[in-house]
Structures are given as structure tokens and as C-alpha cells.
């Protein structure tokens, strides 16, 4: 063992870092970015309230034990929800269906009267049933409100109300498992991550081995090159998606309520964008290590802000707008709506258009990046 | 004989560096011309301009009567300095791929791959992945890829750098054989011994052509016993081409 040699090696490593300021910056920037995002998402502050519709048909009973009014008041005071009045149960359900509300509470007529008579009663909470994180927040808010109702009843000396909360999902249901809700996100994550890694590394190799120069000196146009790459990677990504979906459906028993071709179409559009993103970004990397450094920078914000674990609706407005730029957000929502909600193409057309816009933007970025090859 | 390459007053800068500084050169079809000069003389920049990979700041370049670019690229074979190959693919797949890229059908490209493997002495290695080949075999595969589409003009950028003397001889045999078949070859080198094998040599220095002619004529003009001495003498005398 030689101290001099050990110091020489350590010194060389530090000198190498000094000559690679981007890697050094990423080493500090990425963990801080991830910690800031996790801190924000796990914490309570800075969240936008969830719109929740309430159809309170329990009118005519006054006093502190008026269950509907007390529950509505308790929910109004919660920072996490923003209450909307709905005329009746149908309107409340429509608002959830149309995405105007994250959930809806239906307080039936005569609820308070039933409770005063010692009869058990039920409150219905309508949720989308597609995004468990979102549904749980609505149910959680209702349960918290019910605690206030019970406390108010206890304070007034009335008998404790026996109210149950019935969760009515518009899509999905009891036959679906947790895996059914997360399978769409997993398919998107694998599709994005592996396509991005493979394309960026493959294109980086084209550059570093000189084959790109050879391609550029051939009659192939830049568009030929990009479309060839697209076709190759779409084929590969489709096989990957079929393997993942096949395993999920036949081995794990995951349901696909909507048309399976729509799942594949969504993935094709996503992959087109990601292939071009990988090509464009590979021009900013000198080696495979630098490509790997892009992954946390490009991928982590999409995982955290794309609605995989935390609902997009509750994000601080600038972050929510940012999440709408991310292809992962649109792909996850689309696949959830198709696989869990059984949506048809018309119902997810807007999301698909957003993915198409991303794909077109990335195709242009890829062409621009290739243009810089001939200087 | 028609001109294969016409270059007039070529200027190309990279920031403060003038890689080409008014380069003039004409190459007739059927010539085997060597571009000779030290590192930084502008040889690779000139070849990349001709291959359509670099634009010009000034001057006019024509290749086989056309401006460099996609219109003329089907007639050009470009061999990069270090092997530009898909290492995971076998030799044959590399050849077939580049053949198809240049417009050959799959059947034509396969048949051509077989011919070329024989021509560059790679028989029996067609199915070997490039990464398993020796440096010399890779360089021969690289040359074969540049020739796969029967180009009329071959641009070879220092094809023998890092190659052992035996292989260098063999590669030169290939170059001469192709030239006898009528292919125009422009080859860059800073090995004077190789330059002696060319029908004509152009001396490049600081992005300009300082002299051009058959090797014997250049030696005579400079009154020097070797091409190396001729280059130094002509460069120092500030000769005009």
C-alpha cells in the first residue's frame, strides 16, 4: 500500500470532477430537487383544495344536530377541500363524471330525522374510482367532517349518530385490486424509462462511434433517420408493452376495461415523443454516464408530479401547469381511464392530443438536434 | 477527363481557427490523389466538406459536378479515420445495412457483401460481430462499407493510421485495384511513403494547397530526394500550386 499512490488516485478523481462541472452540478442539484419535491408532496402546505360537490337533501331540520348542514360546515372549514353546492344527486354525479369535482357527497333527505329516531343512516360519497389517491382524499375529508358531526352531537347531548359512509366509484369497483390501479402507471413508467434510455444511449453511440457521420454522408435524410429510429423503437416498445400487459392480465389478473388497442395506441404516441426526446438530449451528453445523469432530471419530476402517487389536482398551480407539459401525466391518466374506467377513444381524445403535441414538439427538437450535426 | 472534385477558394473557420484558408484543388476522374500535410493542415476538414458534412464560410466546392450534399452522396464512398461500424452486428449485417442505406435492394446488398468480404480478405468472418475482430479487420470492414454501393469517388481519411505494415500493403493493393477499375480516390495521409503510391499528390499546409503534381515532379520541383523534403522545401519557400 502506498499513501502517495492512493492520494494520486483520489486527486485525479477530484480533478476529473473539476473538469466536468455539469456532473458536479447534477450531483448537488438532483438530490435537492428530489428532496424539495418529496417535502412538498408529503407535507400539508401549499396544496390546492380539491373541489367536492355536495348535494344536501337533508333540509328542514335545524340545530346543531342537523347532520347535513353540520357536515357541510365542517367540510367548508377544511383547507383540503373546496365545497360546491349541487342541486341533487344526479348533478353531483355529473360533476364527478365531467371532472368538475373530485368527489361528491350526497346527504339523503330525512337523514337527521332518521338519526333522531335512532335509525342508522348512510351518506353516499361518489368518487371517480380511477385514481385511488384522489378518492382516498375525498373519503378522508368526509370522515374528518363526520368526526365534527359526532362531536357536535355529543356536545348537544343527543345520541351519537350512527352514520355510515358508502363509497360509490363511477368506475372500477370491488372486483379491482390495488394492482389494477397501478398497472397503467407501471406500463407508462417502463415504456418511458426504457425507451428513453435505449434511444439516448443508442444515438450517443451513433455519434461516438462515427456511424452517425457515415449516415449523414449517405443519401438518407434527417427525417429518414428519425423515422427509422422511431419505427425500430416503436416495434421494440410495443413488444415490451405486450409482455408487460400480457403478464399483468394473464398472470396477475389485471383488468383492461376499455379497448386494448387504445392502450397500445397511447403507448405508441408516448414512445414517438420519448424516442425524439432521447435523440435530442443525447446531443448534450458526451458519454453514457452523462446520459444516465439525465434520467433523474427528466424522469423524477414526472414520477412525482405526473399523478402516479399524488393527485395532480392538489398541486400548487405552477406545478400543476408544469405537470400538464409532462407526457407521463397524460399517458397515466389516459391508461387509467381506459384500463380502469373503460373509457372509449372520444373520452380520452384530449389527453391523446396532448401526447401527440408532445410527440410533434419532440420530433422537431430531434430534427433541430440533427441539423446541428452539419455545421 | 471530367473533374471529380473542384475546390476554389475554400474557407472554413472554427471560431478563431481557419481550418481551410482559401484552399484550391482540382481532381480529374480516375485519379488516385493523396492529400499530404501535417496535423491541422485541413485535410480532414476538406474531406468532410466534400462528403457534405461541413458547410463553407467562403469558396465553391463541386463533387462530380454537383455541390456536396445528398444529391451526389450516392456516388461517394466515405471512409472515416477510425472504423465507424455497428460493433454488435456481424460484418455482413454492417455491409448489408450500409448497402440498403445507399439504395441497394436486400438481395443486391447481400450479394455485394459477399463480394466485398472476399475483396478485403474477410472470408469466414462475415458472421462475426465487429467487436470480436482485430483492429486491422475492422479497418478492412470499414473500407468495405465505404465501397458497398459501387461509388465513383472514394474519400478515404487516413485509412492506414494505426495499421501494421502488412495490412497497410494489402489496403494499398485494394486502393490501386479500385483505381484501376476507374474509381477516383482521394486519400489523406501524412505518411510520405504512402503518398509515393498516388498518381498525384497535393501538399496542404495551414488550410491551403501549397503544391500539387505527380510525386516525382514534386521532388524534382523542390530539388529534394524525398517527398518529405520536397514538402518542407516547398512549404518554406511559400510555393504556389
Mean pLDDT of A357-364: 92
Smallest Cα distance from B53 to chain A, Å: 5
Position B148 confidence tier, pLDDT thresholds 50, 70, 90: very high
Taking 80 as the threshold, does the pLDDT of residue A173 lie above it?
Answer: no
Taking 80 as the threshold, does the pLDDT of residue A354 lie above it?
Answer: yes
Position B241 confidence tier, pLDDT thresholds 50, 70, 90: low
The residue of chain A with its CA nearest to that of B103 is A219
* A-B contacts at Cβ under 8 angstroms: 47
Weakest mean pLDDT among A23-27, A273-277, B35-39: A23-27
Mean pLDDT of A252-276: 90
Taking 60 as the threshold, does the pLDDT of residue A55 lie above it?
Answer: yes
Answer yes or no: is B206 within a domain.
Answer: yes
Query: Cα–Cα distances in Å, from A152 out to A72, A74, B109?
Result: 13, 10, 85
Q: What does the DSSP 8-state code read for residue A43?
A: S
Taking 90 as the threshold, does the pLDDT of residue A292 lie above it?
Answer: no
Mean pLDDT of A163-187: 82
Residues A261, A262, A263: CA angle, nearest 5 degrees? 90
Q: Pick from B230, B239, B168: which is nearest to B197 by CA?
A: B168
Contact between B101 and A221 using a beta-carbon 8 Å cutoff? no
Weakest mean pLDDT among A92-101, A201-210, A281-290, A359-368: A281-290
pLDDT of B185 reads 96
The residue of chain B with its CA nearest to that of A375 is B54
Mean pLDDT of B122-127: 90
Give the domain CATH number at B138: 3.40.50.300
pLDDT of B98 reads 95
Taking 60 as the threshold, does the pLDDT of residue A129 lie above it?
Answer: yes
Contact between A374 and B70 using a beta-carbon 8 Å cutoff? no
pLDDT of B88 reads 93
Position B101 confidence tier, pLDDT thresholds 50, 70, 90: very high
Q: Pick from A140, A148, A174: which is nearest to A44 by CA?
A: A140
Weakest mean pLDDT among A41-45, A167-171, A300-304: A41-45
The residue of chain B with its CA nearest to that of A373 is B53
Q: Are A207 and A369 in contact (CB under 8 A)?
A: no
pLDDT of A261 reads 92
Q: For chain A, where are the E strands, in sequence order?
A: 50-56, 81-85, 103-107, 121-127, 163-169
pLDDT of A59 reads 66
DSSP string, B200-237: EEEEEETTEEEEEE-HHHHHHHHT-SSHHHHHHHHHHT
B49 touches chain A (CB under 8 A): no
Strands B153-157, B32-36: parallel, antiparallel or unpaired by DSSP?
unpaired
Q: Which CATH fold would you assign to the domain A50-169?
A: abc type-2 transporter like fold (3.40.1710)
Smallest Cα distance from B225 to chain A, Å: 38
DSSP string, B48-93: HHHTTSS--SEEEEEETTB-SSTTTGGGEEEE-SS----TTSBHHH
pLDDT of A236 reads 83
Mean pLDDT of B199-204: 94
pLDDT of A61 reads 54
Is the whole model's pTM more than 0.80, yes or no?
Answer: no
Mean pLDDT of A180-185: 87
Taking 60 as the threshold, does the pLDDT of residue A72 lie above it?
Answer: yes
Longest dimension (CA), chain B: 55
Chain A, 179-218: which have a CB under 8 Å from a chain B CB? 209-211, 213-218
Pick from B53, B80, B101: which is nearest to A374 by CB? B53
pLDDT in tens, A221-239: 888 988 898 888 888 888 8
Q: Pick from B208, B157, B159: which is nearest to B41 by CA?
A: B208
Calculate what percentage of chain B has a pLDDT beyond 90: 66
On average, the pLDDT of chain A sits at: 85
Contact between B102 and A215 using a beta-carbon 8 Å cutoff? no
Whole-number Å distance between alpha carbons of A288 and A306:
26
pLDDT of B126 reads 92
Q: Give every CB contact of residue B233 below 8 A, 6+ residues apart in sequence.
A: B222, B223, B224
pLDDT of A373 reads 66
Answer yes or no: is B63 within a domain.
Answer: yes
Contact between B78 and A375 using a beta-carbon 8 Å cutoff? no
pLDDT of A174 reads 66
pLDDT in tens, B164-178: 788 788 888 888 988
pLDDT in tens, B16-60: 999 999 999 999 999 999 999 988 899 999 999 999 999 999 999
Smallest Cα distance from B120 to chain A, Å: 20
B55 touches chain A (CB under 8 A): yes
Calculate what percentage of chain A has a pLDDT beyond 90: 20
List phi, psi (to 5°) of B13: -115, 150
pLDDT of B81 reads 84
pLDDT of A355 reads 95
List phi, psi (to 5°) of A242: -65, -40
The residue of chain B with its CA nearest to that of A211 is B84
Mean pLDDT of B213-226: 91
Mean pLDDT of A1-19: 88
Taking 60 as the threshold, does the pLDDT of residue A60 lie above it?
Answer: no
Could you tell me the residue ranges of all domains in chain A?
Answer: 50-169, 176-371
pLDDT in tens, A305-341: 988 888 888 888 899 999 999 999 999 999 999 998 8
Whole-number Å distance between alpha carbons of A264 and A286:
33
Taking 60 as the threshold, does the pLDDT of residue A132 lie above it?
Answer: yes
User: Which residue out of B72, B79, B84 would a mutagenesis test of the A interface target, given it has the greatest number of A Cβ atoms within 10 Å?
Assistant: B84
Taking 80 as the threshold, does the pLDDT of residue A156 lie above it?
Answer: no
pLDDT in tens, A206-221: 888 889 999 999 999 8
Ramachandran assignment for A99, one of left (phi > 0), alpha (psi -120 to 50 degrees), beta (any other): left
- Compute CA B224 distance to the chain's CA centroid, rounded to the nearest angstrom: 26
Helix (H) or strand (E) holding B7: strand B3-14
Which residue has 432521447 as its cell numbers?
A278
The count of domains in chain B is 1
Q: Are A134 and A313 in contact (CB under 8 A)?
A: yes
Secondary structure (3-state) at B162: coil
Q: Which domain holds residue B48?
A: 3-236
Task: Give A218's contacts in chain B (Cβ within 8 Å).
Answer: 73, 98, 101-102
Calculate what percentage of chain A has a pLDDT beyond 70: 96
A375 touches chain B (CB under 8 A): yes
Taking 70 as the threshold, does the pLDDT of residue A65 lie above it?
Answer: no
Contact between A214 and B53 using a beta-carbon 8 Å cutoff? no
Whole-number Å distance between alpha carbons of B206 and B218:
19
Smallest Cα distance from B99 to chain A, Å: 10
Answer yes or no: is B241 within a domain.
Answer: no
Contact between B80 and A218 using a beta-carbon 8 Å cutoff? no
pLDDT of A73 reads 85
pLDDT of A334 reads 94
Amino acid at each position: 500500500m502506498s499513501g502517495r499512490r492512493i492520494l494520486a488516485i483520489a486527486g485525479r478523481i477530484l480533478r476529473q470532477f473539476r473538469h466536468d462541472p455539469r456532473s458536479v452540478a447534477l450531483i448537488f442539484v438532483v438530490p435537492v430537487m428530489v428532496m424539495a419535491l418529496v417535502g412538498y408532496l408529503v407535507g400539508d402546505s401549499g396544496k390546492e383544495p380539491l373541489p367536492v360537490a355536495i348535494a344536501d337533501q337533508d333540509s328542514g331540520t335545524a340545530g346543531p344536530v342537523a347532520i347535513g348542514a353540520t357536515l357541510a360546515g365542517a367540510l367548508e372549514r377544511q383547507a383540503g377541500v373546496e365545497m360546491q353546492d349541487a342541486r341533487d344527486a344526479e348533478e353531483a354525479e355529473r360533476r364527478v363524471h365531467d371532472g368538475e369535482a373530485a368527489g361528491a357527497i350526497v346527504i339523503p333527505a330525512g337523514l337527521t330525522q332518521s338519526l333522531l329516531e335512532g335509525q342508522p343512516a348512510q351518506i353516499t360519497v361518489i368518487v371517480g374510482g380511477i385514481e385511488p389517491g384522489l378518492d382516498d382524499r375525498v373519503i378522508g375529508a368526509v370522515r374528518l367532517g363526520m368526526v365534527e358531526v359526532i362531536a357536535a352531537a355529543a356536545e348537544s347531548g343527543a345520541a351519537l349518530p350512527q352514520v355510515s359512509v358508502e363509497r360509490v366509484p363511477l368506475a372500477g369497483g370491488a372486483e379491482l385490486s390495488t394492482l389494477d390501479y397501478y398497472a397503467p402507471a407501471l406500463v407508462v413508467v417502463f415504456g418511458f424509462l426504457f425507451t428513453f434510455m435505449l434511444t439516448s444511449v443508442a444515438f450517443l453511440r451513433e455519434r461516438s462511434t462515427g456511424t452517425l457521420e457515415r449516415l449523414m454522408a449517405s443519401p438518407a435524410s434527417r427525417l429518414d433517420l428519425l423515422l427509422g429510429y422511431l419505427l425500430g423503437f416503436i416495434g421494440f416498445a410495443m413488444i415490451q408493452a405486450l409482455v408487460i400487459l400480457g403478464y399483468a392480465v394473464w398472470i396477475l389478473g389485471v383488468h383492461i376495461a376499455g379497448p386494448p388497442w387504445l392502450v397500445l395506441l397511447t403507448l405508441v404516441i408516448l414512445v414517438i415523443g420519448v424516442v425524439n426526446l432521447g435523440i435530442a438530449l443525447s446531443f448534450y451528453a458526451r458519454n453514457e454516464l452523462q446520459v444516465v445523469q439525465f434520467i433523474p432530471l427528466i424522469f423524477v419530476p414526472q414520477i412525482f408530479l405526473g399523478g402516479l402517487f399524488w393527485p395532480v389536482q392538489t398541486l400548487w398551480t405552477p406545478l400543476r401547469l408544469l405537470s400538464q407539459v409532462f407526457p407521463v401525466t397524460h399517458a397515466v391518466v389516459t391508461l387509467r381511464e381506459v384500463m380502469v374506467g373503460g373509457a372509449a377513444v372520444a373520452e380520452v381524445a384530449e389527453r391523446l392530443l396532448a401526447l401527440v403535441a408532445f410527440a410533434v414538439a419532440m420530433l422537431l427538437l430531434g430534427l433541430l438536434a440533427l441539423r446541428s450535426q452539419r455545421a | 477527363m471530367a473533374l471529380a472534385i473542384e475546390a476554389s477558394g475554400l474557407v472554413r473557420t472554427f471560431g478563431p481557427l481557419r481550418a481551410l484558408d482559401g484552399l484550391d484543388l482540382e481532381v480529374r476522374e480516375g485519379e488516385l490523389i493523396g492529400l499530404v500535410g501535417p496535423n491541422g493542415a485541413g485535410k480532414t476538414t476538406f474531406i468532410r466538406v466534400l462528403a457534405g458534412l461541413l458547410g463553407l464560410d467562403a469558396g465553391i466546392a463541386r463533387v462530380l459536378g454537383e455541390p456536396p450534399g445528398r444529391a451526389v452522396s450516392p456516388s461517394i464512398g466515405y471512409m472515416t479515420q477510425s472504423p465507424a461500424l455497428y460493433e454488435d452486428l456481424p460484418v455482413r449485417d454492417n455491409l448489408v445495412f450500409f448497402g440498403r442505406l445507399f439504395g441497394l435492394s436486400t438481395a443486391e446488398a447481400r450479394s455485394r457483401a459477399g463480394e466485398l468480404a472476399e475483396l478485403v480478405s474477410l472470408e469466414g468472418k462475415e458472421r462475426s460481430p465487429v467487436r470480436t475482430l482485430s483492429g486491422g479487420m475492422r479497418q478492412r470492414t470499414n473500407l468495405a462499407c465505404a465501397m458497398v454501393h459501387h461509388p465513383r469517388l472514394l474519400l478515404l481519411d487516413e485509412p492506414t493510421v494505426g495499421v501494421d505494415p502488412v495490412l497497410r500493403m494489402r489496403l494499398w493493393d485494394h486502393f490501386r485495384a479500385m483505381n484501376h477499375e476507374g474509381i477516383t480516390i482521394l486519400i489523406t495521409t501524412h505518411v510520405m511513403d504512402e503518398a509515393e503510391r498516388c498518381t498525384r499528390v497535393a501538399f496542404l499546409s495551414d488550410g491551403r494547397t501549397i503544391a500539387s503534381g505527380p510525386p516525382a515532379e514534386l521532388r524534382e520541383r523542390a530539388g529534394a530526394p524525398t517527398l518529405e523534403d520536397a514538402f518542407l522545401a516547398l512549404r518554406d519557400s511559400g510555393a504556389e500550386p
